[in-house]
Structure 1
């Protein structure tokens, strides 16, 4: 198997060459209903399958001296024996038999003895952002030497954008539509402007919370300077903060919200939908959570599961490395993108 590494315009045939390039950050699209751990294992197995189908390091050759019965004329040189994969390079008749000098490939690194060259345990993967079991969308991962970069991205607390779908009229014990229904309520009087009003209030309260977490009063010059630089984010892990929320689709009883946030969890987003229903004198459940953007990484860059193979992964590492050149991960950027 040969891989074309498009960004470097090179053809990779050796597994070791491809393995040497398998270091960095990639962006994949996670499917709902699959855990993060299972996603890691699927990706690792597909990468290892491609690596093991490529050319391996040639087996070492060793020279052996053997005594064999005197059945062949002296000086006869045999061709390679395909069964034992050896070549006779010389013979000496000492009167008692033939001493044969044989060059053959070592069995110490035979594929049937050492097994596959790469297994899923060899590939190291860490998350820069985590998605819950029922969530789907963009997930940024660090591979091998890219683990440290993934940790830095996580510490920089880049904004993450979600499209969260909800349904009015029922409430469950998990705040997700698959949970046990606990309550039903009417929703016919809910209108779009009422949702927009409630979302604006929630956004305003969270914007104030962002300054409180940063330890800055909103009526100070420091608060103005921070706001002029972009999105004010907490330097440490704190409670979830929503920087932007708006309704992008309204079709009773269904609706979609676009939420830009940090420090969020799947349960928090589901609870946000539940609380929105209560504020509108009804009830609501979350039906779908999809992450569309993590900092500068959008869903356009994310690899679908059908593209989880070595060639696409290496190409994705090249693309993300070009994007990361614009960011100093060792310093917290005040803004990844304006909300």
Structure 2
């Protein structure tokens, strides 16, 4: 446990990656403003570092024939002269994967030069995120959300839990084939087996959305909840996926709740609730998230599979090592 003696010490400790729980209907700009406001308020309430004394040399006078060295308070460091020690612009805060305003859940942030730099590096390789998406059958809107303008109303009494789970399994298989096609590998080849045997396979292109798992966690018509493990996702992609699944079930659906429960190595256990968005809470959270941040940074050195150009698929099958292990 770190004992904070003054505001300058607290400001130096605000340098790293931390995790918060973002409420829904909160824009990322308002979120950044709230964090800066809380940090500025808390640090200005802490005592300042002791002001330095001003050394003064007095010449000889009628009472003394020698020079005298004395110290007096330096009024240049007086709070009434300087004003508040910190302003909102003194805190450099970066937010990763903020999504739409309606999205809630785990949000990774960085503060200070070290935190912002680490967060920028981690953003180059999008982490695998987990979402709980709640949908509602029977509606179709302009923006795939319940708050959008209604375009269509459909019946959903024919949709059962088993039927919905079968479509989710089908969708999961379709996305798994995309990762192999991005490397130009036949799914039935030995090369594809070796590709999957290496562990979690990430898409070569950062613009390729990939779903690793789809699971139905709750089904109470008209509401249902789907757990999604994905990478390179966008909010529009996730909401449209719910709409597409409902279309395959011969109905329509909208998103009523979008919640992220995991972002890479950061989980709900790391996330700070809104009442803990204080200087003391963030400093403590930076230390608690250090292990998760180090694991995310280690992914930057993870070997990546790169495709070797070949003329045809048959020629690639004749080459023993079609894929080679390189470091980006």
Q: CA deviation at 1:90?
A: 10
Change (3 A) 1:217 1:124: farther
Q: Which moved more, 1:231-240 or 1:178-187?
A: 231-240
CA contact under 8 A between 1:128 and 1:153: conserved in structure 2? no
Residue of structure 2 equivalent to 1:245? 214
Change (3 A) 1:113 1:331: same
Change (3 A) 1:324 1:226: farther
Residue of structure 1 equivalent to 2:195? 226
After superposition, the CA RMSD in angstroms is 2.3
Question: Matched residues in 1 for 2:271 and 2:239: separation?
Answer: 24
Residue of structure 2 equivalent to 1:142? 110
Higher Cα Rg, which structure: 1
Give the TM-score of the pair, scaled to structure 1: 0.81
Question: Matched residues in 1 for 2:102 and 2:75: separation?
Answer: 49
Residue of structure 2 equivalent to 1:124? 92
CA contact under 8 A between 1:169 and 1:185: conserved in structure 2? yes
Q: CA deviation at 1:277?
A: 1.5
Matched, 1:14 2:6: yes
Change (3 A) 1:172 1:15: same
Report the secondary structure of 2:84's partner residue: coil
| 1:129-167 CA-partner distances (Å, limit 9, x unpaired) | 333211000011121111121122222222100000000
Structure 2 stretches lacking a partner, 5+ long: 305-328
Structure 1 stretches lacking a partner, 5+ long: 1-5, 66-88, 95-99, 335-339
Report the secondary structure of 1:197's partner residue: helix
Residue of structure 2 equivalent to 1:68? none
| 1:219-245 CA-partner distances (Å, limit 9, x unpaired) | 333322231222211244113211111
Matched, 1:268 2:260: no
Report the secondary structure of 2:140's partner residue: strand
- 1:82-121 aligned at under 5 Å gives the runs 104-121=72-89
- 1:42-81 aligned at under 5 Å gives the runs 42-62=34-54
Question: Matched residues in 2 for 1:44 and 1:232: separation?
Answer: 38
Residue of structure 2 equivalent to 1:199? 168
Change (3 A) 1:165 1:310: same
| 1:266-318 CA-partner distances (Å, limit 9, x unpaired) | 12111111111211111110001000001121111100010111111111111
Residue of structure 2 equivalent to 1:151? 120
Give the TM-score of the pair, scaled to structure 2: 0.84
Residue of structure 2 equivalent to 1:331? 301
| 1:174-208 CA-partner distances (Å, limit 9, x unpaired) | 11000111110111111011111111111111011
Report the secondary structure of 1:330's partner residue: helix
Matched, 1:34 2:4: no
Question: Matched residues in 2 for 1:313 and 1:111: separation?
Answer: 26
Question: Matched residues in 2 for 1:229 and 1:239: separation?
Answer: 20
